[in-house]
Amino acid sequence: MSEEATITVDTAAVRLAVTGEFATEDLGVACYHSKVGAVELLLNHMPDGPGEYVVVDMAAGAGSFASGLFTRFDRTVLVCEPTVRSVGVYRQYAGYARDYGVALSVAGNRVEDAGDVEFLREHVGGDLLTWFSRSGYVRRAERGTVGPLAELEPANQAALAKLVEAVDDTVQDWTAFTRWAHEFHRRNAAAWANERAGADLTDQIDPEFRMGPQAVSQPAVVGV
C-alpha cells in the first residue's frame, strides 16, 4: 500500500489505506494495475464477519477486470449518474461481470428529480438500489469543511442506510471466492508467470484449502 492511516468519522475510528499513486521511478514503466494488485491481495486475507466492512473506492470503468479484483467483493455498487455515458459504463461492467456471479447494485448519483430516477430505471432496471441527490454537505466536505454525518441530508442518509442493508443481506460465498482465486491464478500462470518463474505456479494451489473464517484457525503449512 502507498499509505495507511487511521481517521475519525464522527466518533468512530476507521482505518484508511491508499494505493495507486505513482512514484517518480514508476513513471513510464509501471502500469496502474501493478499498484491496485495490492488491494486484491489484501482482500484475499480478510475473513470479515458481521458488522465488519471493507469498502474499496475504485476508479470509474472496467479497470478491475484486468485482474481477478472484481471477484473479491461480496457486493459491487456502481455509482451511476443519469447520463448516457454513465449508464454505458454500467452496461460494460454488467456485461463483463455476468458470467462470474457478481452481486451488482447501482446507486444513482446527482439525481435531481423524478425524471432522473426514471432514466436510471429505464437503463439499469432492477439493479437500481437507491440514489443520492445533490448534496450541500458533500460540496462543503469537498471544500475542506467536513461536518458530522448527522448533517448529511436525510434522504441521502436513508440512501446510505439502504446500501448497508443490501451488503448485510448479501451471503458471503467463500466457495466462489476460492474458486475464482484459483481460476485467475491459473490464467496468470499460463499467460506469463510460469515463464517468468521457470516453474509451474499452479502447483502452489492447495485443492483442499477454502477461504473463510475457518481458515484463520487452521495451522499454516509451509513447504520447504
Residue 178 neighbours by CB under 8 Å, 6+ apart: 209, 210, 211
CATH number of the domain encompassing residue 128: 3.40.50.300
- List the chain pLDDT tens, one digit each, 224 residues: 566 667 677 777 888 888 767 667 666 656 666 667 788 888 888 888 888 899 999 887 877 888 888 999 999 999 999 999 999 999 999 999 989 999 999 999 999 999 999 999 999 999 999 999 999 999 999 999 999 999 999 999 999 999 999 999 999 999 999 999 999 999 999 999 999 999 999 999 999 989 988 887 666 655 54
Q: Are 146 and 117 members of one domain?
A: yes
108 touches 130 (CB < 8 A): yes
67: in domain: no
Structural domain includes residue 133? yes
Phi then psi for residue 126, to 5 deg, are: -70, -10
Same structural domain, 140 and 181: no
**Same domain flag for 48 and 90:** no
Same-domain pairing of 111 and 144: yes
Among residues 95, 90, 71, the alpha carbon closest in space to that of 79 is found at 90
How confident is the model over 62-94, as pLDDT tens digits? 778 888 889 999 999 999 999 999 999 999 999
131 and 178 within one domain: no
In the prediction, which pLDDT does 20 show?
67
The domain of 206 spans: 173-224
Q: At what angle do helices 114-124 and 84-97 cross, to 10 degrees?
A: 30
- 3-state secondary structure at position 15: strand
- Same domain? For 117 and 130 the reply is yes
Q: Is residue 59 part of a domain?
A: no
Q: Is the residue at 191 inside a domain?
A: yes
Domain identity same for 89 and 41: no
Both 33 and 45 in one domain: the answer is yes
Q: Are residues 86 and 152 in the same domain?
A: yes
Tell me if 20 is assigned to some domain. yes
Cα angle: 210, vertex 34, 95; to 5 degrees: 65
Q: Spell 19-38 as b/e; 16+ CB within 10 A means b.
A: eeeeeeeeeeeeeeeebbbe
pTM of the model: 0.85
| 97 three-state secondary structure | helix
Confirm whether 68 is domain-assigned.
Answer: no
